[in-house]
Amino acid sequence: MEFFEDYKYIIVPIATWFFIQLFKVIYDLVTTKKFNFKRILGAGGMPSSHSAVVISLTTLIGKYEGTDTAQFAMSLIFACVVMYDAAGVRRAAGKQAKLLNRIIETPGLSRVEVSEKLVEALGHTPTQVIVGALIGLVVGLIF
């Protein structure tokens, strides 16, 4: 148990990420009847594991170190940047990838030949980010 106490700031966020990604793989398997190993490392989908990871870490720091510390402030700012990026920049990049894939697949519209499609599931909807953050908060409070 001492090992967990010494490394809780690493163990809890990584375990949170792993179980959310595992949930995504299982959910995908149940809904599509196909095993997609790329889901374990892939971005996007419900809930946001990125949000859960950074909020679980922020919650742990606030709980054990205090909310008036530099570590908590840095973690909170970092969490906000990650969640903004997930719902903003990466989501926009995913929308652009979807549009580019459609353009490339349209006969006669593009002479561009590609060996593989662009990844479309890069970011998260605001709901996916909020749900991930709530999971991270609960996990951080429990441990």
Under the banding of pLDDT at 50, 70 and 90, the label for residue 130 is very high
Please give the Cα distance from 37 to 22 (Å, whole number). Answer: 10
Amino acid 43: pLDDT = 77
Lowest mean pLDDT among 43-47, 80-84, 116-120: 116-120
Residue-wise pLDDT for 14-32, tens only, equals 999 999 999 999 988 998 8
The pLDDT score that the predictor gives to residue 138 is 98
Q: For residue 87, how far is the Cα from the chain centroid?
A: 10
Give domain limits for the chain.
Answer: 2-88+123-142
For the chain, what's the residue count? 143
